[in-house]
Amino acid sequence: MAKLIDGKVISAAVKEEVKAEVSALKQKGVTPGLAVIIVGEDPASKVYVANKEKACEASGMASFKYALPENTSEEELLALIQKLNNDSCVNGILCQLPLPRHLNEELIINSIVPEKDVDAFHPQNVGKIMIGNYDFLPCTPAGIMEMLKYENIDIEGKECVVIGRSNIVGKPMSMLLLHKNGTVTVCHSRTKNLKEVCKRADILVAAVGRANFVTADMVKPGAVVIDVGINRLENGKLCGDVNFAEVEPVASYITPVPGGVGPMTIATLMKNTVTAAKKQNNI
Ligand code: GUN
């Protein structure tokens, strides 16, 4: 039976640290502020953004929410980002992805000044991560690293397999595992012998976006299994990329969905916003 890695408990510890830092910053006259932009009506994005807002407020930070209609033009969105770039009350800017199809995601991300890019999606921040000398880490991969650290799971020399190569999770995740001296393989839709490759993993990270994708026959006995997926089933229930019922008896550690990686993503976002506020105020 696997030990559950409880994202609620670990994120609560991170959020407590953030709260203390926010309080100390406020005494110096600085209130960290996060602006969150959401365009359109994607139901999952709405839930994520509401959770981010709630966490911001609970930590004592200022939160500025911009819910824009689906038909917002690129010019309008760029103008808003420009305004936020120049607003000293706003230390972090997050534009929730995915954006409606008529908006060029790359152009929008690139328009956020790197100093306020608390998602670490801007090419300048991505490049810094690649080199290993960074200001921010992307929230989900950094949250996963925090979970591994909390559970004293050693990465050095371990076989690490990441399923999924997105810019948000898969690619940066592989880089962070590499920085910790893991031997990293990134799998994707064209990978041959996926099952065999996954079965080599001491640490398996599933970021595919497909419900119950990872089955017991893909997991080495005793592996650490990290489930990044948040998929909604037809019955309305949330479900990860890992078939939890099958894999849990095989793994040594596993993250649940919900209550695993999700809360860690938000805690890291808070941390990044505090980092941004400190840097912008030379603290
Ligand atoms: N959509 C899914 N995950 C994320 C994230 O971490 N940041 C943003 N901006 N959008 C997302």
* pLDDT tens digits along 74-124: 999 999 999 999 999 999 999 999 999 999 999 999 999 999 999 999 999
Question: Do residues 260 and 240 lie in contact, with contact meaning Cβ atoms separated by under 8 Å?
Answer: yes
Q: Please report the domains of the chain, with CATH numbers, ordered by start residue.
A: 30-113 (3.40.50.10860), 139-261 (3.40.50.720)
Give the pLDDT confidence of 20-31 residue by residue, as tens digits. 999 999 999 999
| Cα-to-centroid distance, 7 and ligand 1 (Å) | 18
Q: What is the pLDDT of residues 164-204, one digit of tens each?
A: 999 999 999 999 999 999 999 999 999 999 999 999 999 99
pLDDT of residue 72: 98
Calpha distance 192→128 (Å, rounded): 31
Which entry of 117, 119, 202, 227 is annotated as an active-site residue?
Answer: 119
Quote the distance between the C-alpha of residue 29 and its chain's center.
Answer: 29
Could you tell me which residues come within 8 angstroms of residue 192 by beta carbon, excluding any fewer than 6 positions away?
A: none
Confidence of residue 154 (pLDDT cuts 50, 70, 90): very high
Q: Which residue spans within 156-278 are E strands per DSSP?
A: 159-163, 183-187, 203-206, 224-227, 231-232, 238-239, 253-254
Cβ-contact 62, 89 below 8 angstroms = yes
**Strand (E) positions, 72-229?**
92-95, 159-163, 183-187, 203-206, 224-227
Nearest CA residue ID for atom 1, ligand 1: 97
pLDDT of 12: 97
> What is the arithmetic mean of pLDDT over 125-139?
95
117 given a catalytic annotation:
no
d(CA 253, CA 243): 14
Buried-state track 244-256, b at ≥16 Cβ within 10 A, e below 16: beebbebbbbbbb
Q: Judge whether 96 counts as a catalytic residue.
A: yes
pLDDT in tens, 203-252: 999 999 999 999 999 999 999 999 999 999 999 899 999 999 999 999 99
Instruction: Specify the ligand 1 atom closest to the Cα of 140.
Output: 6
Go through the chain and tell me how many residues it has: 283
Percent of the chain scored above 90 by pLDDT? Answer: 98
Q: Which of 51, 65, 97 to mutate to test the pocket of ligand 1 (most atoms within 8 A of CB)?
A: 97
**Average pLDDT over every residue of 128-152:** 96
d(CA 174, CA 183): 9
Enumerate residues lining ligand 1, CB below 6 A: 94-97, 119, 139-140, 168, 265
